[in-house]
Structure 1
Amino acid sequence: MREKLDNIKNIAQRCLKCKKPLCKEYCPLHNNIPVILNYINNDQIVEAKKELLKTTNMSFICSKLCDHEKSCYGHCALRNTSDGSIAFYEVENYLSTLISESDYEKISNNKIKSKIAVIGAGVSGMNVAIELAKLGLGVTLFDKNNQIGGVITDSLPNFRFNDNVVNVLVAILKKLNVEMVFNKEFGNNLNFNDLNDFDYIVFATGTMLSKKIFEDNASVYDGIKLLEDGKNNIQKINNANSLVIGAGNVAMDVSRLLVRSDNKVNIVYRRNIANSPASKKEIEMAINDGVNFIELRSPKQLVFDKANKLIGLEVEITELIKDDNSTRLSFKSTGECETVPCDIVVEALGTNANYDYLKSFIPDLLDEKGWPNSKIYKYKNQKVLLTGDYLTGSSSFAGAVATSNKTIELIKEDIWK
């Protein structure tokens, strides 16, 4: 532990104390990085931890799983020096190991009796529950699974993240008297009628509706479902020639999972990997695990033999073009096609939120573009809010928490108006 603390101090000593710290600006949670590092420089570790807790309850997760290249690390003023950017995520992770339920207190509140139901116990739902419970409000956290954590405990591979950290979050929630109710899924065995006692209902159910190209087929798999199976030690694919479509972090995760079951794995992507949404770190780990990348190939159709067995994927060859509306290069078709041999295809194309059931109760849930708004909706006598990725679409872990912070402010303003 002493060696790790010395390393953290060495990292902190490099901070330039910029007048306009871009690390803080580009952190979705705006963690006060220079102040935290200054506390560490002065051997004020407890103060550094307290400063971190002012802006985030999810350091356990964000320090390991955020794409730091796109946030603090990638915008450090030292990024172009020989020693490179300051690795604040290492500092944050160290401080997260010092956080426990003893750092949290519930304010005694005899005046406000509002009760809040939070549906979904991923990072945004947990954050809403923690922050509102700290204010002395009655909070019940529901989840369709048998534990908190969302994708962390549901589908994120153990080789990527040790989900034991949720034990600390469980202890924090219990300390704040948050009631946790499991195996309850809204629209299945949980409905508005079951929530009549609550004044506010916050939906934080994320985006778990997989995007698809192809119709259901015995040789076409859903990447999210494979990750969920893997989390439960279920291996459906072994010794296969596998093609994974997509190049986000889910594609990297499922590819690395397949490699561990002795599958040959190729990722097919319509851009090149340098212009993929996956983090550099995830790409590097996939390459190190033996995943191969077939770039500039856009999926077109499945190819079957006479016995209706999948033998390949027909792809269209693409080339990169500039996109003025994006930091990534886009692509266009060259009109040429080829077939990539494979036994199975895995779709890892991202996810959407499913609003169908909720919309049947709240007709004005979505705007003309098909998106919900960051506002308080009404259903009978209850106030309904959406938060996290369920509100914005898929984002980073820190991004989901940042969105939930705005939801918390909406509720606070409404209660104490």
Structure 2
Amino acid sequence: MGKHIIEEASRCLQCKKPLCSKGCPISTPLNKVIALLLDGKMLEAGAMLFENNPLSVVCSMICPHENFCEGHCILGKKSSPVQTSDIENYISRYYLDQYKPEAEDNGNADKKIAVIGSGPAGITVAFILALNGYSVTLFESEERIGGVLQYGIPEFRLPKDLLEKLRKMLLQLNVKIRPNMMIGPVISLDDLLRDDYKAIFIGTGVWNPRPLRLTGETLGHVHYAINYLKNPDSYDVGKRVAVIGAGNVAMDVARTALRKGAQEVIVLYRRGKENMTATKYEYDYAKLDGVQFEFFRSPVRIVDEGVICQETRLETDDEGNSRMVTVEDSEKLYEADSVFIAVSQAPRSNLTGIEIGKTGLVITDELGRTNRENIFASGDVVTGAKTVVEAVSQSKKSAQAIMDYVSSLD
């Protein structure tokens, strides 16, 4: 592993205007990190990554690198890009094992901040605030921290021991963690403010599956993808599985089902391969695992035997406008013992007292400020499902806005 890392790092051209950093949503200074690594300054390289992105080790494994850093590497134009993801992972893992976090002693210890949700957004804000000396309490509705990282991404894509390391680091920074505590049904936002939390951050993600409203959706062999990924072992999916949808969550469900004993998994998607929201990387690995794909197939109803789909096609009118239409008399049954619906998620509707949009997303400004001056939010609960690195990038801005607000109270 080490030899491969050095070889890849040595390929870096050390561009004066690195396109890899420009292509990264959080502007990771990869050329500087690589220079430190090659100079034997591994801990400095790790510190640079962590300070820029507390979830660097996670992003190195699950980012769509082909769209971000590696997709912008100048070497990729004529040959293969520098495998910056491997380099970032190697350094970040090493740093995580060595790092002993210490909070700044700057007079903020008596200022309590509530962080609701311990997914990518919540963990990012908790780290930044705790490192800056604030007293942070992290409220998590499940038993373990991580949010989508823990309950929405399979082990084969993201080893959960990394999340345990992050949890221990938070505890070292005196972050208090309240698991199995969903804010809303029992404790409200106003209850937190009553108990002298100076500010509240909401990073609760998107956990309510969007239904298709199809006939047959309530049948016993039909499941929602995001629920399945929380604990696949509690499901008996049978031999044949159909997955409706073609995003990264659909790919995770399809690949997990094969690993849990399904013999045949088929993904049904109403558009073409080029319209998939799943990354090419996830699609390629799903194909490698044996997942089958049927494109231009729109589900019309679910029956005990599986999913009935109609064929679709793209039509373009004289003005160049395209629309998807169904082909008459093209219904076909795709037999399945289990059917998974993976068409997107929305936030839970458990929080009151802040402005919520029609889609259920929390409304904020560009810094994550809600309509109440002491309540902030970012991540998927604001933007809808995005990448982890995008959630981290936005949450860094929110963490700074929280610190600026609390400082203004003095």
TM-score, normalized by the shorter chain, greater than 0.5: yes
Cα deviation for residue 335 of structure 1 reads: 3.1
* Amino acid across the alignment from 1:405: K
Q: Which residue of 2 aligns with 1:252?
A: 251
Q: Which residue of 1 aligns with 2:92?
A: 96
* Amino acid across the alignment from 1:339: K
Q: In the alignment, is residue 80 of structure 1 matched against residue 71 of structure 2?
A: no
Deviations 1:52-91, CA, capped at 9 Å, x for gaps: 1221111221010111111101111111223x01110101
Cα deviation for residue 182 of structure 1 reads: 0.6
Cα deviation for residue 117 of structure 1 reads: 0.3
Tell me the C-alpha RMSD between the 2 structures.
2.4
Q: Which residue of 1 aligns with 2:344?
A: 350
Cα deviation for residue 320 of structure 1 reads: 7.7
Deviations 1:345-376, CA, capped at 9 Å, x for gaps: 2100111123x332x423x4438997511343
1:52 to 34, 49, 54: 49
Contact 2:109–2:135, Cα closer than 8 Å, also in 1:
no
In 2, Cα distance between the equivalents of 1:155 and 1:118?
20
The correspondence of residues 178-217 of structure 1 with structure 2, limited to 5 A, is 178-192=175-189, 194-195=191-192, 196-197=194-195, 198-213=197-212, 214=214, 215-217=217-219
Shift in CA distance, 270/320, structure 1 to aligned 2, threshold 3 Å: farther
In 1, Cα distance between the equivalents of 2:285 and 2:225?
18
Deviations 1:372-414, CA, capped at 9 Å, x for gaps: 11343466xx711111111111100111111111111211221
Q: Which residue of 1 aligns with 2:224?
A: 222
SS in 1 for 2:14: coil
Contact 2:141–2:182, Cα closer than 8 Å, also in 1:
yes
SS in 1 for 2:230: helix
Q: Which residue of 1 aligns with 2:389?
A: 398
Contact 1:125–1:204, Cα closer than 8 Å, also in 2:
yes
1:318 to 301, 313, 319: 313
Q: Which residue of 2 aligns with 1:325?
A: none
Q: Which residue of 2 aligns with 1:126?
A: 123
Q: Which residue of 1 aligns with 2:294?
A: 294
* Amino acid across the alignment from 2:310: V
- Structure 1 length-normalised TM: 0.88
Cα deviation for residue 312 of structure 1 reads: 3.4
In 2, Cα distance between the equivalents of 1:62 and 1:256?
20
SS in 2 for 1:13: helix
In 2, Cα distance between the equivalents of 1:368 and 1:193?
23
Q: Which residue of 2 aligns with 1:283?
A: 283
In 1, Cα distance between the equivalents of 2:316 and 2:112?
52
Cα deviation for residue 18 of structure 1 reads: 2.1
SS in 2 for 1:54: helix
* Amino acid across the alignment from 1:119: I
* Amino acid across the alignment from 1:88: T
Contact 1:301–1:315, Cα closer than 8 Å, also in 2:
no
In 2, Cα distance between the equivalents of 1:256 and 1:402?
29
Shift in CA distance, 321/282, structure 1 to aligned 2, threshold 3 Å: farther
SS in 2 for 1:283: helix
Contact 1:300–1:316, Cα closer than 8 Å, also in 2:
no
In 2, Cα distance between the equivalents of 1:64 and 1:205?
22
The correspondence of residues 160-171 of structure 1 with structure 2, limited to 5 A, is 160-171=157-168
Deviations 1:177-203, CA, capped at 9 Å, x for gaps: 111111101123332354122111111
Cα deviation for residue 94 of structure 1 reads: 0.3
Shift in CA distance, 40/255, structure 1 to aligned 2, threshold 3 Å: same
In 2, Cα distance between the equivalents of 1:129 and 1:320?
49
SS in 2 for 1:69: coil
Q: Which moved more, 1:17-26 or 1:118-127?
A: 17-26
Q: Which runs of 5+ in 2 are unaligned?
A: none
Cα deviation for residue 333 of structure 1 reads: 1.6
Q: Which residue of 1 aligns with 2:173?
A: 176
* Amino acid across the alignment from 1:205: T
1:34 to 28, 31, 47: 31
Moved over 4 A (4+): 367-371
Cα deviation for residue 257 of structure 1 reads: 1.9
Q: Which residue of 1 aligns with 2:325?
A: 333
1:65 to 62, 65, 72: 62
Q: Which runs of 5+ in 1 are unaligned?
A: 323-328
Shift in CA distance, 188/311, structure 1 to aligned 2, threshold 3 Å: same
1:372 to 363, 371, 390: 363
Shift in CA distance, 224/33, structure 1 to aligned 2, threshold 3 Å: same
Contact 2:61–2:157, Cα closer than 8 Å, also in 1:
no
Give the % identical residues: 31
Q: Give the number of equivalent residue pairs.
A: 394
SS in 2 for 1:416: helix
Cα deviation for residue 222 of structure 1 reads: 0.7
Contact 1:367–1:373, Cα closer than 8 Å, also in 2:
no
- Structure 2 length-normalised TM: 0.89
Shift in CA distance, 339/279, structure 1 to aligned 2, threshold 3 Å: same
Cα deviation for residue 19 of structure 1 reads: 2.8
Deviations 1:126-174, CA, capped at 9 Å, x for gaps: 1100100111111000101111111222232222221111121112101
SS in 1 for 2:312: strand
* Amino acid across the alignment from 1:350: S
2:375 to 381, 384, 387: 384
Q: Which moved more, 1:383-392 or 1:4-13?
A: 4-13
